[in-house]
Structure 1
């Protein structure tokens, strides 16, 4: 058995539709790694790039944008698809913040922007930003306000523990926290990202505008000349949830949950705004909050790692680490 390498290597997938996310090696290295022709089609051989007896990339495809029709989606104005598979709308009110998922180990708020045209019975709203609290950390994702949308500009703002995350504008660029418990990846050059909070949640996020056609469909008239209502389309994949999880979306993952919305309606609406209201994007204080943060006696480490350099090949993975004796498994995600 050979000893695992302890220094960083640069490796890449030979199939550019896959992107790589680094993980720490945890199993003994094998000196008899299979040759490339014996690795199945879902895997990528890194022989010649990484020491072959230590690292193999096993790749899993995923979408670069949220699938707004699948479970865990929060898109448009805003339309949710619950853990039970039922679609519903939750209008809320413009300029308010709501807890959409609250669990013992993490809490997610969404801030709504919107507009109420003359004669309308409610605000038309969109999710402008997302706030996540977990352990002693915070993560926020927002769509930057702009008057006119430009597809060749990035409109995503991402912060970890209050500090801006820098991601080069390269498809596949990676950023990780110092503990590697948070990984952010660009899934296109602009406005699309995938975020992983270890063992808790994955979020696929896109920043998009409200188009002129959408405004007309909503009888709102033409787009405001000073605001195109840039907002987030989101899809969540929860890795760990308790039975008591709550929030606009979170409650739909409770065992035995029965939806109160009229699913046969053309626009099934979830109400009960007051119990989901929060005063701040990064506070877990709504009436249904389940979040139980640990003691804050230890100051969070905010020294983080940018894993892809600005001049790197967009499909290269930097900083794969094998600090212990182990086979290097690089879980690749599309």
Structure 2
């Protein structure tokens, strides 16, 4: 006597799942992908996205895996590691929180870079000056360095306060405002697109900003954004201060008049040429061979004068590859 279809169907499904399991793709170990590009009509405002809940003051940020492809890790909360307590993401494959500052393309701390070749190095530059980070025929990125003089050293303590990005015929400035007392719930981030501050365009509480190929999305209620230009680059930027404990451990001697708010950055590039140059950019060339002494306690990239730019949007550094030279103009260095 034939059994009904309702009897056999569940058994067939079980057999199919066991014989043909779904293999989860390995995520790229880079900046987590943004939301897909969605065309938006010019007269139609973008739909708001819910902002993540900020971690309580003084406590590490908590992250979780939201991919159903990893059931044993799905929706499990983890705290960021101590050395990146506010700037990590969840890797669903290993089911561990990962420091963004340890990934290729990272620029964090004093400035500590992780090159496209995966090698970690430091580039100290000089305080109150601009240096070419990436220069290609259609993309140029400068970093404005701030710092403090340490009489015991021959160099400055330095951090990157802002970056000036030139792409196509556009100028994008992303920076940290100078502040004395740090409040993580207060906005210390400044963004200007083609010389127009973003806040005056979208209002105080914007979550998504779109213009042509540019997409800017908040990654936190304040002080964190992801910036993407289609087929060119994706950058995450987070404003962080120098805390009292960090200052004590490293001897920065940070006082109450300036907490030296600066950027922690993650870069991912999609269309660089083999002529790309700059402190970070050169490490993405296929034929690049690092000259950094890897065995050193602090591997440092030298040749500071080669990367010097006269302004945040200047393209006059020796290694410049930018095709359309834009007149040098100072923007945002007093933030």
Task: Answer yes or no: same fold by TM over 0.5.
Answer: yes
- Deviation of 1:264 (Å): 1.5
More helix by share: 2
Q: Is the 8 A contact 2:126 2:145 kept in 1?
A: yes
Is 1:82 paired with 2:97?
Answer: no
Whole-Å separation in 2 of the counterparts to 1:144 and 1:21: 30
Instruction: Write out aligned runs for 1:102-117 (5 A).
Output: 102-117=135-150
Unaligned runs of 5+ in 1: 1-16, 26-39, 43-60, 297-334
Unaligned runs of 5+ in 2: 1-31, 41-66, 70-88, 92-96, 328-335
Q: Is the 8 A contact 2:166 2:172 kept in 1?
A: yes
Larger radius of gyration: 2
CA separation of 1:264/1:19 partners in 2, compared to 1, >3 Å: closer, same or farther?
Answer: closer
Among 204, 209, 234, the alignment partner of 1:202 is 234
Q: Which 4+ runs in 1 deviate beyond 4 A?
A: 61-66, 167-170
Tell me the alpha carbon deviations over residues 258-291 of structure 1, each in whole angstroms, 9 at most, x when there is no partner.
1111112110000100010001101211110001
Tell me the alpha carbon deviations over residues 192-220 of structure 1, each in whole angstroms, 9 at most, x when there is no partner.
10000121110001000011122122222
Among 35, 38, 53, the alignment partner of 1:23 is 38
Whole-Å separation in 2 of the counterparts to 1:184 and 1:244: 28
CA separation of 1:253/1:169 partners in 2, compared to 1, >3 Å: closer, same or farther?
Answer: same
Tell me the alpha carbon deviations over residues 112-165 of structure 1, each in whole angstroms, 9 at most, x when there is no partner.
000012222210000000000011110000000000110110100001000011
Aligned partner of residue 99 in structure 1, secondary structure: strand
CA RMSD of aligned residues (A): 2.7
Aligned partner of residue 152 in structure 2, secondary structure: coil
CA separation of 1:262/1:132 partners in 2, compared to 1, >3 Å: closer, same or farther?
Answer: same
With a CA cutoff of 8 Å and minimum separation of 6, indicate the structure with the bigger relative contact order.
Answer: 1
Q: Is the 8 A contact 1:65 1:205 kept in 2?
A: no
Structure-2 residue corresponding to 1:286: 317
- Deviation of 1:18 (Å): 9.5
CA separation of 1:19/1:260 partners in 2, compared to 1, >3 Å: closer, same or farther?
Answer: closer
Whole-Å separation in 2 of the counterparts to 1:156 and 1:62: 24
Instruction: Write out aligned runs for 1:182-197 (5 A).
Output: 182-197=214-229
Instruction: Write out aligned runs for 1:1-334 (5 A).
Output: 20-24=35-39, 41=68, 67-166=100-199, 173-177=207-211, 179=212, 181-221=213-253, 223-293=254-324
Q: Is the 8 A contact 1:169 1:190 kept in 2?
A: no
